[in-house]
Amino acid sequence: MDPEQTSFAPPVVPMRAKGQDTLGAFELPLGGAVLVSHLLSALLPKARGLTTTALYAALALALWCGHSLERRWLHEPGRRHFRGTLYLRITWVVLGWSLLWASLPVAFAHARTWHWLGGWRDGPILLTLTLGLFHLTQGARLGVSRWVCLGGVLCLLAALLPGIRALREHMNLATALLAGGALILSGYAGQSALQKQGRSPRTPA
């Protein structure tokens, strides 16, 4: 008798096999949101209220678009085994955890008065570090190496943006191109992985 048929232990299934990887569904719209909103901030440096509102609106729209893409690419073809990433409590727990830890270096910088350096902006640093810690944590937890790489790159950028004078003095532009670009590249890598599995994101089965 086959021992595998008589075993009462549940099969060990990698989290990726259960469809936890969104395969670029959220990275692409988030990258677009970071790119557009921070380019707007770079072009309109004095319109803080307008650009801040535009950033929050762009992030909210990116989450909505990501949820829609996730359903179209993964849920409707039958690859997704739960309602969606935004419905998972752990998603918001990890996001809150990432925001908390990202706030600590910013608070430390204020305590050391580094925020008086020319070009310093709390917002881009906080956003980049939060997204970096989120993807790094989720990637390590779910075994998605692409997210681990993306999280590491974003965390490194969060350190370089205020640390390198040329980047600090053009922080919004650097955040748009570097952080937004990293998210978009990761999203395209996720799309490529999806297509290699025999499913085109534009023509779900």
Domain boundaries, the chain: 21-196
List the chain residues with pLDDT less than 70. 1-19, 75-82, 197-205
Task: Please give the structure tokens belonging to residue 136.
Answer: 């790094």
pTM of the model: 0.81
Contacts of 17 (CB under 8 A, 6+ apart): none
State phi, psi for 199 to the nearest 5 degrees.
-125, 120
**Encoded tokens for 12:** 């060990």
The pLDDT, as a whole number, for residue 4 is: 44
Q: How buried is 150 (Cβ within 10 angstroms: 0-12 exposed, 13-18 middle, 19+ buried)? A: buried
Instruction: Check residue 190 and give its pLDDT.
Output: 84
Q: What is the pLDDT of residue 10?
A: 34
Tokens encoding 137: 């944590």
Q: What confidence tens digit (pLDDT) does each residue in 43-96 have? A: 988 888 899 999 999 999 999 999 888 888 776 555 556 677 888 889 999 999
Contact 103, 109 (CB under 8 A): no
